[in-house]
Amino acid sequence: MSSFALTSPPITGLTASQGPTAASAAELLKRGKIKETAQKFEASFLSVMMQSMFEGVKTPEPFGGGQGEEMFKSLLTDAMAKEVTKSGGIGVAATVQREMLKMQGLQEAAQ
| CA–CA dist 14, 18 (Å, integer) | 12
Structure confidence at residue 39 (pLDDT): 96
Helices marked H in 54-104: 66-86, 92-103
pLDDT band at residue 35 under the 50/70/90 scheme: very high
Does the pTM surpass 0.75? The reply is: no
**CA separation for the pair 18, 32 (Å, rounded):** 22
65-105 tens-digit pLDDT:
777 777 888 898 999 999 999 999 999 999 999 999 999 88
- For residue 19, pLDDT beyond 90: no
The structural domains of the chain, with segments of one domain joined by +, span: 24-104
As a whole number of angstroms, the distance between CA 24 and CA 44 comes to 30
What is the rounded average pLDDT of the residues 48-72? Answer: 80
Mean pLDDT of the chain: 81
Question: Nearest CA to 59 among 77, 80, 73, 79?
Answer: 73
| Per-residue pLDDT at 74 | 87
